[in-house]
Amino acid sequence: MLVNLYKTKTPVAVFSFPILIGLIALPILFVENPELPNFYSWQQELVALVSSSVVIHYLSAVLILYVSAIELNRVVNAYGFYSKNTYLPGLIYAISLLSFDQVYFSSLLLAYAFVIFGIGFIFRINRQDSATESIFMAAFLFGVATIFSPFLLPIIVLPWFSLVVFRYFVWREWFMLLIGFSIPWGYHYGVYFAVTGDWDILTEGFALVNSPIEFTLDKLSLMIYMTLLVIYSIWRFLVILNTQLLVFKKRSRLLFHFIWLTLITLAFSWYFQDAWTIAVAIPFTIIISVQILNATQSLYSNIMLTVWMGLIIWNLIM
């Protein structure tokens, strides 16, 4: 079963994981991908260029998803969320995106990748060592992510929370946070103005309101199941949290801050675009992974994962 296979870093897991990511991305070849509105004209052109060839589109999506999944595995492995190397978080992340029909090349997929790498730098921060480099890189990567999806702007508060949780006030670190976030936006507008002489880079005819999301029985069943799974996983995570060291508890505080910030981005994107910016899948992936990895009975975890994937297949078929 999948949980047993990817719970630890075995040779089979290492070699089969990219194949599994490729299988998860197969709907790109057979299902028409939704056309989400892009904020900027260059994003529209980039997506159109990649989507012009279905092979390039598929390979690009698989590469981004695989790199993001591997980095998420590293975050869980390196920062004490689980005592052994595991590939399960990357698998759950890929399944989560597939649940929301977002396994295809898009600005959002790139934005999620930069957010995941930024989280890695945030979890690197501790009380003893200087956080100047880590906070700059986290803010920089989050800044790049917000260029690809401006709805993600609320998450820029997360690096500040990490300084409050782990560090005393050091003005250089707070200054580097502002610099790191400002550089991507400065280059974004500066380069475009230097090339075109125009500041207005929004997509022509861009409108915030898109067509409403339709909730069919299959989609509603999947959403209800995922909601119950998340609620159960949070409860199990809180139980596990009580037995862990202080550094685990502090990183978990950041994880819960990450959840409510990404829920704000989800609400904004749903209200203004009738589309889902599901960066919340990143912290939920860590929480679901931790509760599954610490479960005493892998049978129940395999059943949960199998039911989840069955509902996804039903949603894709319908």
pLDDT in tens, 34-93: 666 777 878 888 888 998 889 999 999 999 999 999 999 999 988 888 877 888 999 999
| Residue range 222-250, pLDDT digits in tens | 899 999 999 999 999 999 888 887 788 88
Instruction: Name the domain count of the chain.
Output: 1
Whole-number average pLDDT of the chain: 85
How far apart are alpha carbons 40 and 115 in whole angstroms?
19
107 vs 129: CA distance, rounded Å? 34
CA distances (Å), 299 to each of 1, 85, 222, 252, 307, in order?
Answer: 9, 20, 21, 26, 12
Pairwise CA distance, residues 282 & 275, whole Å: 18
3-state helix, strand, coil in the chain (%, to 5): 75, 0, 25
Ranges of the chain whose pLDDT falls below 50: 204-207, 209
Query: According to the model, what pLDDT value does residue 215 have?
Result: 65
Question: What is the domain extent for residue 131?
Answer: 2-317
